């Protein structure tokens, strides 16, 4: 009898040892994207740089995008465990395209002094308005691919092969339509000349396609979009059906993401990883836009995080996007837009470091989710003992 009990106890302990790593620190599922934040370092009223890492760590943020790649700020991330996405200014694209030594010079100021102490994962050559000829500097699309190639070659020359090189686009500048997603495609002016060779490069180098995506902007342009649909509110009328594909979309974010997926698929590269480099909702707009308020900002950011953490992906990409960066950590100072002062506050924190609303950025799975597994093990052990006694 005692031998049988000892045997059953041994079996129970053996099973426990096998599954204990999962119980103690379960990894996120492959379809769970990383959720990071954008830190914009311009502004005179930002908290002191020494507070940045403690703030990020207290929020359990593990990835940060730096639109301004300030070497002092990059250095501050040493041994922090926080990954960085760096951006190269649009103004440098022509000279980076002309000479690989220019790319080496930039890397020697912004990467090699800190890597690998600083976990740099991606470099974006240019950002957002690189294709917008109405925004200074002028359209640099014909310089973009040579610049990306020179940065990539320079990294390999330095013996660095774990940093991806890409560029960042704005949804409004490259996608023809957001709805229906099945009809979306890249703008004809850039589809074959830029997007196809860029996607070829990204597929070969296993680098992500980067895009800034704002449901808020699309919502403001289309009066037929319900506010609840834009801010992840669950409701009987918060959906839109793509009649061509038969897909139902329950939030505007997924609809816009799938428009990008469809556009890439038309060029033969739907499997290129996708990263949303900016998304968010303003909590204040000086132009008196009523929907730019803290209530909707909280609903959008919390709804986005919950949706991404669910691991459901989008209707066309069930394995989900690779990562998303919420815009942004702190409110910015006023800036000039269309010859008028327009203050739009997108931060999740005030500049005095007070949170506007609580967000759980942690990807950890709670132990309580495994209580069913514990119960099953105990029942199996009891049954095994009874069978042995008989």
153: domain CATH number is 3.20.20.80
State mean pLDDT over 54-69. 96
User: Residue 12: inside a domain, yes or no?
Assistant: no
Question: Does some domain include residue 287?
Answer: yes
Give domain status of residue 390, yes or no: no
pLDDT of residue 5: 47
Classify residue 100: in a domain, yes or no. yes
Range of weakest confidence among 40-49, 126-135, 140-149, 158-167: 126-135
pLDDT in tens, 354-385: 999 988 887 644 333 333 433 444 444 444 55
Task: Compute the distance between CA of residue 212 and CA of residue 287 in angstroms, rounded to an integer.
Answer: 22
Residue partners of 21: CB distance under 8 A and separation at least 6 = none
* Averaged pLDDT score across all residues of the chain: 85
For residue 78, pLDDT beyond 70:
yes
Report the distance separating Cα 185 and Cα 327, nearest Å: 25
Residue 183 lies in domain: 30-364
Instruction: Tell me which of 2 and 101 has the higher pLDDT.
Output: 101
175 domain residue, yes or no? yes
This prediction's pTM: 0.84
Residue 288 pLDDT? 81
Phi-psi region of 268 (alpha: psi -120 to 50; beta: other; left: phi over 0): left
| d(C-alpha 320, C-alpha 311), whole Å | 7
Residue 370 lies in a domain: no
Is 275 inside any structural domain?
A: yes
Q: What is the pLDDT of residue 363?
A: 63
- Looking at per-residue pLDDT, the higher value among 235 and 163 belongs to 163
The number of folded domains in the chain is: 1
pLDDT digits (tens, 9 = 90+) for 199-223: 999 999 999 999 999 999 999 999 9
What's the Cα-to-Cα distance from 275 to each of 35, 216, 260, 348, 390, rounded to whole Å? 10, 18, 11, 20, 59
* pLDDT score at 20: 40
Q: Which of 120-124, 275-279, 293-297, 337-341 is predicted with the least confidence, judged by mean pLDDT?
A: 337-341
3-state class of 90 per DSSP? helix
Is residue 15 included in any domain, yes or no?
A: no
């Amino acid at each position: 009898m005692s031998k049988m009990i000892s045997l059953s106890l041994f079996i129970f302990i053996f099973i426990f040892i096998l599954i204990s790593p999962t119980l103690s620190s379960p990894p996120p599922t492959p379809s769970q994207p990383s959720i990071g934040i954008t830190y914009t370092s311009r502004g005179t009223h930002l908290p002191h740089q020494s507070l940045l890492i403690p703030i990020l760590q207290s929020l359990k943020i593990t990835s940060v995008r730096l639109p301004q790649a300030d070497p002092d700020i990059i250095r501050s991330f040493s041994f922090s465990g926080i990954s960085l996405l760096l951006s190269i200014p649009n103004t440098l694209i022509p000279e980076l395209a002309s000479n690989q030594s220019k790319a080496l010079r930039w890397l020697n100021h912004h990467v090699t002094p800190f890597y690998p102490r600083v976990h740099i994962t991606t470099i974006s050559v240019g950002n957002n308005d690189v294709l917008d000829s109405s925004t200074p500097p002028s359209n640099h699309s014909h310089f973009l691919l040579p610049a990306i190639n020179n940065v990539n070659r320079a990294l390999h020359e330095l013996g660095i092969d774990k940093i991806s090189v890409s560029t960042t686009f704005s949804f409004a500048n490259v996608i023809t339509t957001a709805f229906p997603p099945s009809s979306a495609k890249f703008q004809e002016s850039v589809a074959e000349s830029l997007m196809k060779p860029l996607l070829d490069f990204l597929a070969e180098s296993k680098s992500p396609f980067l895009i800034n995506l704002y449901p808020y902007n699309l919502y403001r342009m289309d009066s037929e979009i319900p506010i609840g649909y834009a801010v992840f509110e669950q409701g009987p009328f918060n959906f839109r059906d793509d009649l061509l594909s038969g897909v139902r979309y329950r939030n505007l974010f997924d609809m816009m993401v799938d428009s990008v997926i469809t556009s890439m698929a038309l060029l033969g590269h739907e499997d290129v990883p996708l990263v949303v480099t900016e998304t968010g909702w303003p909590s204040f707009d000086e132009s008196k836009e009523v929907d730019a308020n803290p209530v909707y900002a909280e609903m959008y950011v919390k709804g986005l995080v919950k949706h991404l953490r669910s691991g459901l992906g989008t209707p066309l990409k069930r394995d989900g996007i690779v990562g998303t960066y919420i815009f942004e950590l702190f409110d910015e100072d006023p800036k000039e837009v269309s010859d008028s002062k327009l203050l739009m506050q997108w931060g999740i924190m005030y500049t005095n470091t007070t949170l506007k609303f609580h967000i759980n950025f942690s990807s950890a799975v709670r132990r309580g989710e495994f209580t069913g597994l514990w119960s099953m093990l105990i029942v199996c052990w009891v049954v095994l003992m009874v069978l042995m006694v008989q």
